[in-house]
Amino acid sequence: MLDNKSILITGGTGSFGNHFVEYVLNHYKPKKIIIYSRDEFKQFNMSNKFKIQYKEHADVLRFFIGDVRDKERLLRALDGVDYVIHAAALKQVPSCEYNPIEAVKTNIDGAINVINAALDTPSVKKVVALSTDKSVNPINLYGGTKLVSDKLFIAANAYSGTKDIRFTVVRYGNVAGSRGSVIPFFQKMLDEGSCELPITDYRMTRFWISLEQGVELVIKALREAKGGETFISKIPSFKITDLAQAMLPGCQMPEIGIREGEKLHEIMITKEDSSTTYEYENHYIIYPHYNWWMEEKLIPGGVKVKEGFEYSSGANKEWLNTEMLRQLVKKINIKY
């Protein structure tokens, strides 16, 4: 599917971009992979890493300095590109709360620029935008901006006209071990000699998804999407208290209170979305509820979920226990 294709990844120097490039180079023979981001130092480091690990693919990777806020630069970068993965975003909740206009410029205005640039580039066939659980019933600015972004990418299908282009969304929560998530936070405390791990609320749960699973869901969306879908992986849940015990058995866990903008449970599918949600073997798809979307676009193999269904980390069918978490954490290359 990706053989001899040109792919552009916005925000491509992040954890997802690095793993996506590795996955694609290991499984396909792309014509070109363009890393589009604004941090020259991260691009320098990523370029050096892949020159060492993938010498035979050195001519495939291209590094393009640019910001999603700059439509003209995006248009230049998209020339000849077949597929776009939109991963660029301001993601830190406190940072977005303190810098709301900057979050809007990147997460909303940037999404508009990606959409318009893709629509204006004849070679682009599919655009996959990465979403987050925080866009579902958002309670913080980051979640609010990503909700708007999701809606924009889904609605973009109505503006494609006769163009052969499709827009779709992939949604998942914090990737296990990603910067800013709980595992690196706990690990940093352990490395500093702490004998306790603070818990904001003993009831808190989260979904567990690995970088590999996140990348595979994006590949599935690229392969199957007909435009307007939101893809969501079926993944296990875990309790934050169990994670703490997995990383430091027998540790004290002082409850310090939930932080501003933080939820007790991650929600991927709301009860209101159940009317257009279908369950597949390893994932769910929320289909758009617009008059321009037709039922013949349904991807085969799905079964409509029951009315009122909700996909929440607190009410999941599959759970990880402490020992499972301990084994999984060992496999993560934790960076903080």
For residue 335, the SS3 value is coil
* 180 vs 169: CA distance, rounded Å: 23
Long-range contacts of 272-275 (CB under 8 A, 24+ apart): 274/305, 274/306, 274/307, 274/308, 274/309, 274/310, 275/307
Helix, strand, coil % (nearest 5) of the chain? 40, 20, 40
* 225 vs 332: CA distance, rounded Å: 30
330 is catalytic: no
5, 42, 126, 134: which one is catalytic? 134
Q: Which residues contact 32 (CB under 8 A, 6 or more apart)?
A: 6, 7, 60, 62, 80, 81
Cα torsion 173, 176, 179, 185 to 10°: value is 110
C-alpha dist (Å) from residue 62 to 34, 65, 104, 186: 5, 10, 28, 35
Q: Phi then psi for 185, rounded to 5 degrees?
A: -60, -50
DSSP string, 165-229: -EEEEEEE-PPTT-TTSHHHHHHHHHHTT-SB--BS-TT-EEE---HHHHHHHHHHHHHH--SS-
* 197 vs 206: CA distance, rounded Å: 17
Count Cβ atoms below 10 Å from residue 122 Cβ, excluding itself. 12
Question: Cα 254 to chain center, whole Å?
Answer: 31
Question: Could you give the residue numbers annotated as active site?
Answer: 134
